[in-house]
Every structure is written in structure tokens, then in C-alpha cells.
Amino acid sequence: MKNIDSFTHVRGESLFVDDLMIRQDALFGLCFDSPKAHGKIISVDYTKAEALEGVEKIFTYKDVLGENQIGGIIPDEPLWAENEVHFWGQPIAFIVAKTEAIAKKARALITIKIEELPVITTAKEAKEKGSFINAPRSFSLGNTSDTFKDCKYVLEGETFSNGQEHLYIETQGCYVIPQENGSIKIISSTQGPTQVQKTAAKVLGIPMHKIEVDVIRLGGGFGGKEDQATPWAVMAAVAVQYLNKPVKFVLNRHDDLRMTGKRHPYSSFFKIGLTKDLKIKAFEAEFLQNSGAAADLSPAIAERTLFHATNSYFIPNVKTTVYSCKTNLPPNTAFRGFGGPQGMFVIESAIAKAADKIGVDKKEIQEANLLNENDEFSYGQIATEVQAKKSWFSAKEKFELEKLEKEIEDFNKENQLYKKGISLMPITFGISFTNTPMNHARALIHIYQDGSVGVSTGAVEMGQSVNTKMLQVAQDILGISADKVKLETTNTTRVANTSPSAASSTADLNGKAVEMACNSLIERLTKVAAKMLSSDEKNIHFKDNFVFIDTKKSSLSWEILITQAMLERIALSENAHYATPIIDFDKSKEKGHPFAYHVYGTAITTVTLDCLRGNYEIDSVKIVHDFGKSMNLGIDIGQVEGALAQGIGWMTLEEIAYNKDGRLLSNALSTYKVPDVFSSPKTIVTIPLETDGNEMAIQKSKAVGEPPLMYGIGAYFAIQHAVKAFNPNYKLKFHAPFTPEKVLMSLYEK
């Protein structure tokens, strides 16, 4: 089945916030933000701006009737700055005017005096100065310090991975409309409608039932709208509460880039110990997460770094610690992989360094340490249905690794100024929100009396095609054709108390709820059908818009059955609630079983390096991926390819730059390079691994949104391999992204 949005997407007919027809009296919002990264606000002069014709009102923290607080995990982030600013781009005021152009003009008329304070932009500096978001977290298994003594090889090193801009095509935005009696409707481009509702209620000082949040779809989220769609919606809601007129607020790209957080940069240190036969016996890592100026989701992201610090390897002695370092950058936030990629880059770097020192291929160490059934992760979960080795060996075999390596060797012998490199990248990614209480979802299904069906869930469609998967689930269970099922917008009055669409778990959680609701409806309809056909209930089945008795199609159509059910006053609506079973995690011990299951896979990446210029091309990425039993392979392979491109971008091209004053330098697409058709791999092959899937995956079709991003890490090491082929003196460095500039320096390093 094709993505159900593809038709309207291609014709430009799909609706996004900015496409909505707005009321004639609607006003437009624009944020005035801090022009300094840290300081005391001495004064702000709004008089000229307020006097401008067409400016309705300028809102500040003084206009908040509830609490001026939007922090989700830790209440450490004001909606609008009060007396201090902590990052360049921090919202200070919200201008509401008759047009966007007037609001922009007004913004230029605001003057501000700030007494500047010292600025911290790096995690290392923050750690030295003791500037943290919260207490550090550590996971441990076995005993590392004793084990290092017995290791033949012990290596230490340092890594850095930079941030990453989400670059959703649709920027952040909302349209907020006053309703009766102080109620407010918010149409938002958010992954977390409940988070918007809850935060707006808190800031406005009204109960949640007075706020309805509706999400049509997102032009991409990638984690950037899990938490950070909230402030804009809340600002507009404050204005609507006061003005009683609709307010539209869509950020332009410059404002979005400057004011929103990104993937967290990490500075990390590792120590790895191996035996003479290349078994990793001990691994220690210290992760310094650059959290930015407020917590946002940083503590949860830090936690996932620890969960994925050993990637696909079994290491019996592990000690990992993560510090969420408070700096004067915009609060960094969720980004596909959610701290997992940052953790996995470090273990891969440690293995690369060990291989280099020992004088073996990186893959020898990787292969010698892949997870086995019943191995224990450092957080206590026992690995089951493990596909680490299966995906590894089937990638090697299916893609003829030996032949590939021979070709590369020959090429490198024959060419002086071009070198090729290769790497293998296994991945293991845990599925579930690491915060156990978030793993639940609901669905509300209406069968209308003409037999058509409306499906509401808490799932937000952001391009990952979750709506198509929800439709497939409903259609399969009800036994009706796709044209009879409609996916409704995501709306907090229909499905309440939702977790954000995130953690790759949206289809699993919401799909299970759809499954439960449809099964309940079928149970009722089975009784009606059995009576109508004078048949035994256990022989009744629903298929192809008809009722079947065993395998034989009856004359009873879905429509006639629904008409009869109506007459018999049978409930044709159902609400279901699903909560993931089995999972738990005890934070006081840092042990438990946090994940419903894991996703596995292996990628082989080959690159060609131009050794005069430092440019490289990714020739191919060949992947064996564990989809379980994919319910929609077209969509799932699309997710693999998109995530891979994003992972490669993070590892090779995308270079976020702030100056020492905390100003974003890479503030436009002219200074921030994202993967395009030229830098994408020339060949991408994705082969599904033959597996049984997992019961907790929807229709045994495993979550796919985030895991493949980490195949992109392979690009870093393939380039490194090629650099080394040209310059044997090159000392391995682990400083991503590996931009052509850095490659060039490495090629000629003495």
C-alpha cells in the first residue's frame, strides 16, 4: 500500500499550518529574542514598536496569568526571559500585529540593554566550571578497573560529535483561535499535542479541558517538534487569551534556525580493554553532553546515550557516565536517535583506535564481540531474539564483502590520487520510551452508519507514514477496503493524554490500540452477523467488505451488516487503551528491562576519496536490516534511506558553528550544508533480514524510524579508512563531522 498522503503531497494539496484559511480578523505573531548569549537585562524599550500603526500588543512575561514556565522534565525554562538571558535567540517578547511585515518592522524598533555575563559554549568548559543541568548518571556492569589490569591491550581516547539542525521542511508554527467562554483551539505543528495543551494550560492559568490541540500533519519533525513546538503555540495562546482574536505564528527559517535547539554535541572520553584474541573485556566512557541553557529533553537523551553506549557488542565490564552540561546555547533537544547515535559513535571510535594500535582490521574486533542470545546489557536487560550476528554475517555474504574488499585493495594499489575506503557498521537500538510511564496510547474508532470508518489515535503524521500503517491495521481487522477508512487529525479532545510521537514507537503503541478497538468492534459485529446468517459465531470472518462463513463468502456485505447493527442499537464506536507490557526500569539501581525489543542491522559503506581536494563520494551503502515482518516494505525502506541520509549528513557534512559569544554562525542554508542528491550514496541497497518479528511490534513489523540513522556512522569510518590508505602517518581522530576540509588536513598530516 502506498503512503495515503502521497497523492495530495505530489499535487501540493496536503494541508500544513501555513496553508490553513484564517479568519479575517486574524493577527500575526513574531518573537523578539535575545541578541546576546548571557547577561542581565537592564532595560528593554518597546515604546517605538508599540507606537507603530498596526501593532496590537507586545507580550512579555508580565502578561502571563499562570506560570511563566515551559520546562517539561525540569522547570528551568521561562517562556519569555524575565531578568536574565541565557542564550542568543532566547524569546523575550512576542509582537502581535495586523500583518507579519508590521510585526517585523516593530521588532527592529525594539532596543535592549544587556549587561553581559561570561558565555559558555562547549560542554568541556561547562564541566570545568561545574555548570550542569542535573546530577550525572552512570550505568555499570561487572568491574572495569579490575579487568583492565588483565587486558593485553588498553587504549584511551577522545571523541567529539557535533550537533545537527533538524531542517524539517515546514518550520515551527501554529494558528490559535479563541472559542467560547475562554476556551482556545491550537492548531500546531507539534509531535506532542498533549505537551502543547498541558503547557498552554499552565502558562495561561486555565484547566486543560479549555484547550484543544489539533495536528493535521507535520512537514517533518525529526525530534525537533517533540518539545520545541510548544513555546510558539503557547505564546500565541497567551495573545489569544488577551486579545480574543485568532493569532497565526509561523517562524521564518532564520528565526527557526537561531531560536531552536538541535542535536546535542558530545565530547566524550573512552577507555577500552581487549584480550589477545580481541575480546573487549572492559569499556569505560564519560560523555559530556552539551545540553544548552535549559534541560528540555536533555536528561532523557543522556539516558539513551548510556543505553546504547555498547551498540551491538557484548562487553562484560562496563562503566559509563553522562554529564548534562549547561551552556549558553539554545536548549538542545530530541533528534532522531535521541542520544543513541552519540553513544554509538564513541564505542565505534574506541574499536577503531584499538584496531589501529593492534594492527588488525576494525571489523575483526567488531565481529569478535557481537551480541549473543542471553547476553546482558549494561542496564540489566537480557538480549533475546538477537539478530546482531545474523545481520552481520548475512551482510558479509549477500554483499560479497571479500570481493568488495579485494576491489578496494586493487583500486588503492592502482591509484595514487584517489583512494577507496570501506567500513562495516552494526546497529542495535532499543524500542520503547526509556521513561516507562510514557509507553501507552489510545485509539478511538467510529463506524458510521454507511459503513465508512474514522480512526483517531494519538499518532502524529510527520512523513514517517504512521497514518498509512494505522489504516492498514484497521482495514485488516475490519476486513474492509482502504477507501472505507479515514485517518482523522490528531486531536486532544478525541484522544487525550498522549505521549509525543517519538522513540520510533508511534506505530507500535497507537497501532496496538487500533488493533484492540477494532477487535472489540468485530466481536460485537460477529454476533450480529452470526444471527443474520444463522451461523456459528466462531465461523464468522470479515474480509473484502463481506462476511465470510469460514472461507466461503456470504451474501452479507459490510454495509448491510452495519445497517442491521444500527437497527439493533449496537455500539459502533470503540475506544481502546494500550500500555506496553513487560517493560520496567529502576532508576535507583539503573537496572531493568526498559525496551520492548531491539532492532538490529548491519551496513557496509564504501567511499572514494579525492586525495588532491579532500572531497569524497559515498559509493554505496548496503544494508541488511531487521524489519521483523514489515507491514509495508516500501514505507519502511523509505525510512531506512531517509535516516541513513540524515546519519551520513551528521557524520560528514553538517557543521553547526557558534562563535565564542554564542551566536549561531551556520544560520542559513548557505553556511550549513545538508546532504543533497549529489552527496547521497550513489547506491543504497536494503535487504530485509528474515526474522519472525516481535509480538510487541505492530503486526510483528518492527519500529523503523530511528535505528537506521546510525548506519550513517559507517561513513565516518569508511572515509577514515580511505584517508589512512593515502597517508599512513595519519593519526586517527574522532571528530565528527568529517568534512572535506578536515579530510584534506588529515591527508597531508605528517
Q: Are residues 692 and 629 in contact, defined by beta-carbon separation less than 8 angstroms?
A: yes
How would you write 541-608 as a 3-class SS string?
EEECCEEEECCEEEEEEHHHHHHHHHHCCCCCEEEEEEECCCCEEECCCCEEECCCEEEEEEEEEEEE
The yes or no reply on residue 164 touching ligand MTE (CB under 6 A) is no
HSE, CB side, 13 Å, CA atoms: give it for residue 113.
3
Of 354 and 503, which has the nearer Cβ to ligand HPA?
503
Which residues are near ligand HPA by CB under 6 A? 226, 297, 300, 304, 334, 338, 433-435, 438, 502-503
Q: Are residues 605 and 565 in contact, defined by beta-carbon separation less than 8 angstroms?
A: no
CB of 466 to ligand MTE, least distance (A): 4
CB of 433 to ligand HPA, least distance (A): 4
Residue nearest to ligand MOS (CB): 223
The yes or no reply on residue 221 touching ligand MTE (CB under 6 A) is yes
Q: Which does 300 bind (CB under 5 to 8 A by kind): ligand MTE, ligand HPA, ligand MOS, none?
A: ligand HPA
Of 81 and 438, which has the nearer Cβ to ligand HPA?
438
Q: Which residue type does 595 have?
A: F
Q: Are residues 225 and 218 in contact, defined by beta-carbon separation less than 8 angstroms?
A: yes
Q: Are residues 530 and 467 in contact, defined by beta-carbon separation less than 8 angstroms?
A: no
Of 418 and 433, which has the nearer Cβ to ligand MOS?
433
Binding mask of the shown chain, residues 505 to 534, with x at each position contacting ligand MTE by CB under 6 A = xxx---------------------------
Q: Are residues 215 and 460 in contact, defined by beta-carbon separation less than 8 angstroms?
A: yes
Distance CA 737, CA 653 (A): 6
* Of 165, 226, 574, 706, catalytic: 706
CB of 503 to ligand MOS, least distance (A): 5
Distance CA 386, CA 374 (A): 8
Q: What is the CA radius of gyration of the chain?
A: 27
CB of 340 to ligand HPA, least distance (A): 9
CA distances from 682 to 429, 606, 618, 677 (A): 26, 10, 7, 9
Q: Phi and psi of 24, rounded to 5°? A: -60, -30
Of 429 and 711, which has the nearer Cβ to ligand HPA?
429
Of 470 and 503, which has the nearer Cβ to ligand HPA?
503
Distance CA 739, CA 750 (A): 19
Q: Which does 59 bind (CB under 5 to 8 A by kind): ligand HPA, ligand MTE, ligand MOS, none?
A: none
The yes or no reply on residue 423 touching ligand MTE (CB under 6 A) is no
- Compute the C-alpha angle 568/573/577, nearest 5°: 140
Interface region with ligand MTE, contact rule CB under 6 A, candidates 22-30, 243-251, 426-434, 501-509: 501-509
Of 223 and 231, which has the nearer Cβ to ligand HPA?
223
Q: State the DSSP string of 13-70.
A: ----GGGS---TT-EEEEEEE-SSSSEEEEEEE-HHHHHSTTEEEEE-GGG-SS-S--
Interface region with ligand MTE, contact rule CB under 6 A, candidates 272-280, 348-356, 365-373, 702-710: 702-710
**Identified binder of ligand MTE from the candidate list 89, 157, 192, 220, rule CB under 6 A:** 220
The yes or no reply on residue 699 touching ligand MTE (CB under 6 A) is no
CB of 192 to ligand MTE, least distance (A): 11
Classify residue 623 as left (phi > 0), alpha (psi -120 to 50) or beta: beta
What residues does 185 pair with on adjacent strands? 177, 212
The yes or no reply on residue 298 touching ligand MTE (CB under 6 A) is no
Is 348 a known active-site residue? no
CB of 416 to ligand MOS, least distance (A): 43
Binding site for ligand MTE (CB under 6 A): 220-223, 336, 462-464, 466, 501-507, 639, 642, 703, 705-706
Active site residues: 706
